[in-house]
Structure 1
Amino acid sequence: MSSKQDLTRQFTAEEGIIHIGGIEALVRLTMDQIRFDRRRGLNNAMFISGYRGSPVGMLDANFIKQQKLLMQHNIQFVDGLNEDLAATAVWGTQMMHTVGKQKFDGVVGTWYGKAPGVDRSGDALKHANYTGTLRNGGVLAIFGDDPSCKSSSLPSQSEAMFYHVGIPSLYPGNVQDILDFGLHGYYLSRISGLWAGLKIVTNVADGSGSAIVDPDRLKFITPVVELDGRPYSPEVNLGMNVRKDALDMERTLYYARLELARQYARENGLNKVTLPNVDAWLGIITAGKTYHDLRQAFMEMGLDDDALRRAGVRILKIGMLNPLQPDDIRDFARGLEEILVVEEKRPFIELFAKEILYGTANAPRIVGKRDEEGCDLLPFHGEFESDIIARALHARLSRKTRLESAEAWIRRLDEIHSRNALTTLTRSAWYCSGCPHNTSTKAPDGSIVSAGIGCHTMAMWMKRGVVMGTHMGAEGAQWIGMQPFTDTQHIFQNMGDGTYAHSGSLAVRYCAATNTNITFKILVNSHTSMTGGQEIMGAEPVRNLVAELVANGVKRIIVTTEDLSRYNAVNLIGNTEVWHRDRIMEAQKLLAETEGTTVLIHDQECAAELRRQRGRGKAWEPEAVMVINERVCEGCGDCGEKSNCMSVEPVQT
């Protein structure tokens, strides 16, 4: 037997049990869809595009890593410049019938993006969803939600946006669900003419587990829905600029296509009663990752399925959040006195469950975020953990029955939470050793500095004058609305080259067009370091960046760098100078005194990526090193203060 390990088995095995991570499962899913099509005799291709960001921040890197396998499945991955342009590119796969002879029977589309990308892509998603999908195509939109704000500017819950644009949302709770719900999403998209959404939260993306793979594991049932007395068959309608066609698209969306999605969920069992109990009085509805948190809470409370049945509990796990299947809810509610909806963030399932059951005979009481008296029960904010859920479960169960193991667990939680937390040293987020932000985020004393999205945001807790910030791509635009009403004449705005390429260039143009007194400090470090160190789609060499800025009306530009020799043969247009980074403070003062919009470009590569490249022998080794003589060092700490470098550690002298 060969001892050689197959490092791609999690992607290639077509039968058996595999161990796979959440992001890897999304990569495998795309190949599974093409395999599914091939078994049905379709010679299909797939196009994937999107934009990185937690919790799907490394999805693009994994697609690139598996490029050879993707090519074997006719899958083309193209990194997105930003989310809405990527969504539009994916939309194009469902217009293939308009441009002559096609190379394949159909092209499947896959889009991905984190919650802010969903927000900014609403117009593209709505237009694409309204116009429809091709019968041999279909589109899956993978949207990443970060409920605990682990790596985001704000916590997120994106299913409401998908509801707004009319895209059904499936919510997997583990890697098995990703593979299963993902295939259902592609199939649903084809038969309904809708895009289908796949909600991925941080714990699912970052987690891993075992999954069963089998070509015959899933069966796909196509429901029949009538419109105007005839079975409805979706067609792509690209006439959204014609009022009649646009209104017809809206009509079919709500009376046929979303109804197909509802019936698909019903006939394919996407919503499952995982704990049936004909004698139950309390029904619990939950979905996705929260379902597993619920199960964890019950386990910690000492309640297995038999104990839960004796306590009168029934559980429904929702697979399709939107549209919520009304018959599944009505069947589940039959005979219950109460339904507890356990879901993170603001109520979503709870609202639709109330709408479905309102006015029906013997409808159970529904509680979730608040109880029947309006008192808080489950939080609107943060991420759920089993402890939070356990308290709500105990509050409802204890009204009918006494469960000693549950009471003991709640007492233990109370005892744990009553302890005085030990004061421990915590390591704050900081710049990597050698990070160009150690230099680029410094500003002259008394300056007003604005942050945005990127590693430079960490300067907010480094006493560097950062007092405000914006969402991605709008950095600096807020000052246009502030400047007329303050005595402050100028601010600095930090921005990375990744953000500039994504959408930030528009904010620079806006400031230049309004002759706003602002200096953009653009770090050119060649990578989107915060989301995995990927190369920047659409990145420009500094020469081209300078030309673009000058063309857009920027009044003065100074480039700072640690290596002036890189610019010996580079011609920069306009009033552009290249200075050593030692003069960065002088450069900022000069730019701040210049009326209008100015730019400081700090050209220095990401230190973490540079170290990786050096380890692979693909980057130069530094010729100059700094040595601190410990025998004469007085331990003043000035070296650490000036360098802001983690690797400068104090020693006893």
Structure 2
Amino acid sequence: MPDALVRPQATLADALWADAGTVCLSGTQALLRLLLMQRARDAAAGLDTRGFLSGYRGSPLGAVDLAVWRAGAAFAERGIRFLPAVNEELAATAVLGTQRVASDPERSCDGVFALWYGKGPGVDRAGDALKHGNAYGSSPTGGVLVVAGDDHGCVSSSMPHQSDLAFQAWQMPVLAPANVAELVEFGLYGWALSRYCGNWVGLTALSEVVESAGTVDLDLIQARAAAWAGAEAVRAASGHRPPAEGLHYRWPDLPSLAIETRLADKLAAVAAFARVNAIDRRIVEPTPAAPARVGIVTAGKAHLDFMEVLRRLDITTEQLAAAGVRVHKLGLTYPIEATRMRAFVCGLAEVLVIEEKAPVVETQLKALLFNAPDGARPRVLGKSDAEGRPLIAATGELRPSRLIEIVAAWLAAHDAALDRRAQVRDFTPPELLSNAADAVRRLPYFCAGCPHNTSTRVPAGSTARPGIGCHVMASWMERSTAGLIQMGGEGVDWVSHAMFTRVPHVFQNLGDGTYYHSGYLAIRQAVAAKATLTYKILYN
């Protein structure tokens, strides 16, 4: 007789609407659930808030709007408003408007918590609006999450993308979830942090995370969130005192050096909040009988890559502890929480930092320890080894297969009992016999029936320029199409090029979505310059 179902009443709708228990969530559904859970948390705390969602579709966040529309009227009935934005910077500007509600004497709610979303290039495009929003700040009963859909592997973008460095440049805190469950937990944490410190808070949504799905324990997340200390408790525990004029959105807030000073004060508030409310986790802690000698710091998805490497090497966390290896996983990757990091490195001779792409955590850790006394300043390895040779790649996607040889060699060098280098080959690409078939590749092509099959053709003797969208595939078809430009700049590169060539005319492909987003500005520039080209607005 088959085992009885644990939850026979479970339905697919539980992904959004279940109040407790375990649910299966996609990354996109996790973002919607975030808003619903925050609204419920506020109501339970006696706050009459509303939620606001705005952004621009683009892989890996290309289905957020569709998920909202599928949720139907129930989403709005729960107090969440959705604004499909024309483009990313207008979405960010709309989000800023929501943080003014708390100080409006005619407001219809206590405050608005907001979520902005966009793919990596959209973060760049909206940079000025996001930078201003973060500087002006959030409201104490609102808060802002900035969700960046990063495509580290250049799977669906014009180039690989990482938003962390832009967030750092704007002095915006950054959270790095490793899986779908952490998208939910860290999102709730981000709003709590935003309300305390006045910052907007960045949430990295890597394509490999947000385009995945997983089982999420709602009760565990709620329990962790319930344990976070509130503003008064944070100040009491940390000794933090905000400046007299506060950290949050206010008016008037005219151009002055006070905005810059307030940004520094906000990061001090982030440090205080993170010191009391930790989402960094100690994964392995050796016992006094086998004290820690070396350590590993991980962050975001890279942590799961590391754990998969351990599985492939048949090394358990207990074996790491017995060998004196301490492991610490960061959730807040900027700014790193200093007190726990200093405690982590205490007694260690060397630390290996495992993180995606740029050395975001590694650079901060090195700066933190630079002037530390002997015994509290271990060697820090990451993108390079102790001799400055390349170690963990800062380019491409970090995967277990790219990490396993590095980790295996590092562990073996520190303890012979952890030497599993003989098992590495089973997980790295084997050498293949070379033959003529190795060069055969199937190039992507337009779908059958797609208008692009005909609309991207040009008359004999003519040339065309591609734009952002799937019609860029005309570049590798026999359609005399070459060149690429950022979204919204289509044709403007030809405006200047035309001044220095004998070519009299080109066609410029422009998707109808791009036209609505920002492409019409490029057309206006071409008209103003009296350039000779023909725009083809492609129907998708």
TM over 0.5: yes
Partner of 1:206: 211
Give the partner amino acid of 2:269. L
Name the CA distance, whole Å, in 2 between partners of 1:5 and 1:97: 38
Following TM superposition, by how much is the alpha carbon of 1:70 offset from its aligned partner in structure 2, in angstroms? 1.2
List per-residue Cα deviations over 1:126-157 (Å, max 9, x = no partner): 11111111111111111110111111111111
Following TM superposition, by how much is the alpha carbon of 1:230 offset from its aligned partner in structure 2, in angstroms? 6.0
Partner of 1:248: 258
Give the partner amino acid of 1:320. L
Partner of 2:223: 216
Name the CA distance, whole Å, in 2 between partners of 1:158 and 1:90: 19
Name the CA distance, whole Å, in 1 between partners of 2:242 and 2:115: 34
Whether 1:389 and 2:406 are equivalent positions in the alignment is no
List per-residue Cα deviations over 1:303-356 (Å, max 9, x = no partner): 111221233321111101111111121111111111111112121111101000
Partner of 2:34: 29
Partner of 2:249: 236
Q: Are the counterparts in 1 of residues 411 and 418 from structure 2 also a CA contact under 8 Å?
A: no
Partner of 1:166: 171
List per-residue Cα deviations over 1:516-570 (Å, max 9, x = no partner): 1111111133xxxxxxxxxxxxxxxxxxxxxxxxxxxxxxxxxxxxxxxxxxxxx
Give the partner amino acid of 1:412. D
Cα 1:227–1:247 change in 2 (3 A) is farther
Q: Are the counterparts in 1 of residues 465 and 491 from structure 2 also a CA contact under 8 Å?
A: yes
Please show how residues 89-104 of structure 1 align to structure 2 within 5 Å: 89-97=94-102, 99-104=104-109
Give the partner amino acid of 2:285. P
Partner of 1:491: 506
List per-residue Cα deviations over 1:470-489 (Å, max 9, x = no partner): 01010111112212222222
Q: Are the counterparts in 2 of residues 147 and 157 from structure 1 also a CA contact under 8 Å?
A: yes
Following TM superposition, by how much is the alpha carbon of 1:368 offset from its aligned partner in structure 2, in angstroms? 0.7
Give the partner amino acid of 1:398. A
Partner of 2:266: 257
Name the CA distance, whole Å, in 2 between partners of 1:428 and 1:269: 47
Whether 1:511 and 2:519 are equivalent positions in the alignment is no
Following TM superposition, by how much is the alpha carbon of 1:491 offset from its aligned partner in structure 2, in angstroms? 1.6
Please tell me whether Structure 1 or Structure 2 has the larger radius of gyration of its CA atoms: 1
Give the partner amino acid of 1:496. G
Give the partner amino acid of 2:401. D
Partner of 2:372: 360
Following TM superposition, by how much is the alpha carbon of 1:46 offset from its aligned partner in structure 2, in angstroms? 1.1
- Give TM-score, length-normalised by structure 2: 0.92
Partner of 1:478: 493
Following TM superposition, by how much is the alpha carbon of 1:420 offset from its aligned partner in structure 2, in angstroms? 3.0
Question: Aligned with 1:55: secondary structure?
Answer: coil
Partner of 2:351: 339
List per-residue Cα deviations over 1:155-183 (Å, max 9, x = no partner): 11101111111211111111221111110
Q: Are the counterparts in 2 of residues 237 and 249 from structure 1 also a CA contact under 8 Å?
A: no
Give the gaps of 5 or more residues in structure 2.
Answer: none
Partner of 1:501: 516
Give the partner amino acid of 2:400. S
Cα 1:400–1:229 change in 2 (3 A) is closer
- Identity percentage over the alignment? 37
The equivalent position to 2:385 in structure 1, one of 354, 371, 391, is: 371
Cα 1:231–1:292 change in 2 (3 A) is farther
The equivalent position to 1:402 in structure 2, one of 412, 416, 430, is: 416
The equivalent position to 1:145 in structure 2, one of 145, 150, 155, is: 150
Q: Are the counterparts in 2 of residues 146 and 152 from structure 1 also a CA contact under 8 Å?
A: yes
Name the CA distance, whole Å, in 1 between partners of 2:434 and 2:47: 61
Name the CA distance, whole Å, in 1 between partners of 2:420 and 2:382: 20
Question: Aligned with 1:355: secondary structure?
Answer: helix
Q: Are the counterparts in 2 of residues 453 and 470 from structure 1 also a CA contact under 8 Å?
A: yes
Following TM superposition, by how much is the alpha carbon of 1:27 offset from its aligned partner in structure 2, in angstroms? 1.0
Name the CA distance, whole Å, in 2 between partners of 1:16 and 1:176: 13
Give the partner amino acid of 1:118. V
Name the CA distance, whole Å, in 2 between partners of 1:379 and 1:137: 39
Cα 1:355–1:3 change in 2 (3 A) is closer
Name the CA distance, whole Å, in 2 between partners of 1:152 and 1:211: 29
Whether 1:312 and 2:324 are equivalent positions in the alignment is yes
Name the CA distance, whole Å, in 1 between partners of 2:512 and 2:478: 23
Give the partner amino acid of 1:104. C
Whether 1:418 and 2:431 are equivalent positions in the alignment is yes
Question: Aligned with 1:399: secondary structure?
Answer: helix
Name the CA distance, whole Å, in 1 between partners of 2:271 and 2:192: 14
Cα root mean square deviation, aligned: 2.1
Following TM superposition, by how much is the alpha carbon of 1:92 offset from its aligned partner in structure 2, in angstroms? 0.4
Whether 1:350 and 2:362 are equivalent positions in the alignment is yes
Name the CA distance, whole Å, in 2 between partners of 1:99 and 1:482: 50
Q: Are the counterparts in 1 of residues 102 and 110 from structure 2 also a CA contact under 8 Å?
A: no
Partner of 2:477: 462
Following TM superposition, by how much is the alpha carbon of 1:405 offset from its aligned partner in structure 2, in angstroms? 6.1
Name the CA distance, whole Å, in 2 between partners of 1:462 and 1:238: 55
Name the CA distance, whole Å, in 2 between partners of 1:213 and 1:464: 52
Please show how residues 427-438 of structure 1 align to structure 2 within 5 Å: 427-438=442-453
Question: Aligned with 1:469: secondary structure?
Answer: coil
Following TM superposition, by how much is the alpha carbon of 1:4 offset from its aligned partner in structure 2, in angstroms? 7.0
Please show how residues 68-83 of structure 1 align to structure 2 within 5 Å: 68-83=73-88
Q: Are the counterparts in 1 of residues 197 and 269 from structure 2 also a CA contact under 8 Å?
A: yes
Name the CA distance, whole Å, in 1 between partners of 2:502 and 2:270: 57
Question: Aligned with 1:398: secondary structure?
Answer: helix
Following TM superposition, by how much is the alpha carbon of 1:237 offset from its aligned partner in structure 2, in angstroms? 2.9
Cα 1:441–1:365 change in 2 (3 A) is same
Question: Aligned with 1:378: secondary structure?
Answer: coil
Name the CA distance, whole Å, in 2 between partners of 1:130 and 1:409: 50
Q: Are the counterparts in 2 of residues 391 and 410 from structure 1 also a CA contact under 8 Å?
A: yes
Name the CA distance, whole Å, in 2 between partners of 1:320 and 1:232: 27
The equivalent position to 1:125 in structure 2, one of 122, 125, 130, is: 130
Q: Are the counterparts in 1 of residues 25 and 214 from structure 2 also a CA contact under 8 Å?
A: yes
State which drifts further: 13-22 or 420-429: 420-429
Give the partner amino acid of 1:301. L
Cα 1:478–1:276 change in 2 (3 A) is same
Give the partner amino acid of 1:307. Q
Question: Aligned with 2:31: secondary structure?
Answer: helix
Question: Aligned with 2:115: secondary structure?
Answer: strand
Q: Are the counterparts in 2 of residues 282 and 337 from structure 1 also a CA contact under 8 Å?
A: yes
Q: Are the counterparts in 1 of residues 143 and 195 from structure 2 also a CA contact under 8 Å?
A: yes
Q: How many residues align?
A: 520
Q: Are the counterparts in 2 of residues 22 and 205 from structure 1 also a CA contact under 8 Å?
A: yes
Name the CA distance, whole Å, in 1 between partners of 2:76 and 2:145: 19
List per-residue Cα deviations over 1:353-390 (Å, max 9, x = no partner): 10001120120001111111111111121101112111
Question: Aligned with 1:466: secondary structure?
Answer: coil
Question: Aligned with 1:269: secondary structure?
Answer: coil
Partner of 1:84: 89
Name the CA distance, whole Å, in 2 between partners of 1:220 and 1:107: 20
Following TM superposition, by how much is the alpha carbon of 1:446 offset from its aligned partner in structure 2, in angstroms? 3.0
Q: Are the counterparts in 2 of residues 173 and 292 from structure 1 also a CA contact under 8 Å?
A: yes
